[in-house]
Amino acid sequence: MATKVLVVDDAAFMRHMIKGILTELGCEVVDEAVDGEDACTKYEATKPDLVTMDLIMPKKGGLDALKDIRASDPSAKVIVISAIDQRQPLMEALKHGAADYVVKPFEKERVQEAVNRVIAG
């Protein structure tokens, strides 16, 4: 059975790129979200196996969405994919339960490696 993934990013081209990588890995992208509020709503609706989450988004950022998703489902698996290459936000995300993080711009292989590692448990 394919791993169900929710892709969260405010940039359509980035969601498209991530979806392509996930599809190559045999994952099923069950939905996309454009901000943190959208992510929380769609997480509840789709109950995916994995979430890829941008940090900087309008309305509600990825860190707040990560906290909310993990509060409602402590077993949620979230990979942060963000352009922020600063330790503080990434360490904060890991502290709040992110399973891994990938810094944009990324190599396809880095995303695949993170997804495979997180899915494997």
Domain assignments of the chain as residue spans, ordered by start: 4-120
Max Cα distance, the chain (Å): 36
CA distances from 60 to 27, 39, 53, 108, 111 (A): 26, 9, 12, 27, 24
pTM of the model: 0.95
* 13-71: pLDDT as tens digits: 999 999 999 999 999 999 999 999 999 999 999 999 999 999 999 999 999 999 999 99
Q: Tell the CATH topology of 4-120.
A: Rossmann fold (3.40.50)
